[in-house]
Amino acid sequence: MIRSGVATQIEHARSLSQVFETISTFPSLGPFLSYQLAIDLNYTSVIDFDENDFVVPGPGARSGIAKCFPQLNGVPPEDIIRWMVDTQQAQFEDQGIVFDDLFGRALTLIDCQNLFCETDKYARVMHPNVRGVGSRNRIKQQFAPQGPPVRPFFPPKWGINQRVAGRSNALASAT
C-alpha cells in the first residue's frame, strides 16, 4: 500500500467517498473495512470531510436494520441510516426521549450505522427468534473491563475534548 502512492491519493481526495474508493481498490479490503478505514482517517488531521457525506452499512448494521424494519420492501439500508440521522431530533421528541448527546454532537451516519450493528448483537441474545440478515447467532466476544476506566479522547476536530475533561474533572471531584 505504501509504495502505491495511496497516501498522496488520500491527501488529495476531494471527498470521503473518494478516500473510500481509493482504499477499496486494495485486495482483501472489502466495502465495510474500506469504509471503516476511511472514517478512521477522517478522525485524524490528514483529511477533513463531513461524516454525513455517505455511509457503507456493514453486515451487522444490515442485519440490525432488517430486525428493526422487517417490511422495508427494497429500501436500501443506506437510506434508512440517513433517515435516522436526518430525523433524529423529531424521532426523540415523538418518543419522549431526552437524548443525552455527545457534548452537543448529534448522531452521524457512522454513529447510526454502529447503532444498528449493536442492535443486531443485542437482538441475537435477547430475541434470538427475530431474523436479520445472514446466519449469525452468537456474539464473538464478551466485554470484560481490564484496569481502571481511561479518560475518553475524541478527534480534536470535534471540539469536545475540553468539555469532556471539564466533566471528568467535575465527576472526579464529586467522588
Please give the C-alpha separations between residue 123 and each of 11, 70, 88, in angstroms, as whole numbers: 40, 14, 21
pTM of the predicted protein model: 0.87
Query: Is the domain of 28 the same as that of 67?
Result: no
**Which pLDDT score is estimated for 10?**
95
**107 in helix, strand or coil?**
coil
130 touches 121 (CB < 8 A): no
Three cell numbers, residue 93: 421528541
Q: How many domains does the chain have?
A: 2
Does residue 143 lie in a domain region? no
Residue pLDDT, tens place only, 97-147: 999 999 999 999 999 999 999 999 999 999 988 888 887 777 788 888 899
Does residue 25 lie in a domain region? yes
C-alpha to C-alpha distance for 88 and 128, rounded to whole angstroms: 27
Does residue 155 lie in a domain region? no
Does residue 12 lie in a domain region? yes
Does residue 139 lie in a domain region? no
Does residue 31 or residue 163 have the better pLDDT? 31
**Which pLDDT score is estimated for 173?**
53
Does residue 82 lie in a domain region? yes
Three cell numbers, residue 69: 424494519
Q: Which H helix or E strand runs over 37?
A: helix 31-42
What is the rounded average pLDDT for all residues in the chain? 91
Does residue 74 or residue 138 have the better pLDDT? 74
Query: Is the domain of 64 the same as that of 35?
Result: no
Residue 170 confidence class, pLDDT cut points 50, 70, 90: low
Residue pLDDT, tens place only, 76-93: 999 999 999 999 999 999
Does residue 10 lie in a domain region? yes
Does residue 23 lie in a domain region? yes
C-alpha to C-alpha distance for 39 and 47, rounded to whole angstroms: 10
Query: Is the domain of 6 the same as that of 37?
Result: yes
Query: Is the domain of 71 the same as that of 122?
Result: yes
What domain range includes position 32? 2-42
Query: Is the domain of 106 the same as that of 73?
Result: yes
**Which pLDDT score is estimated for 132?**
83
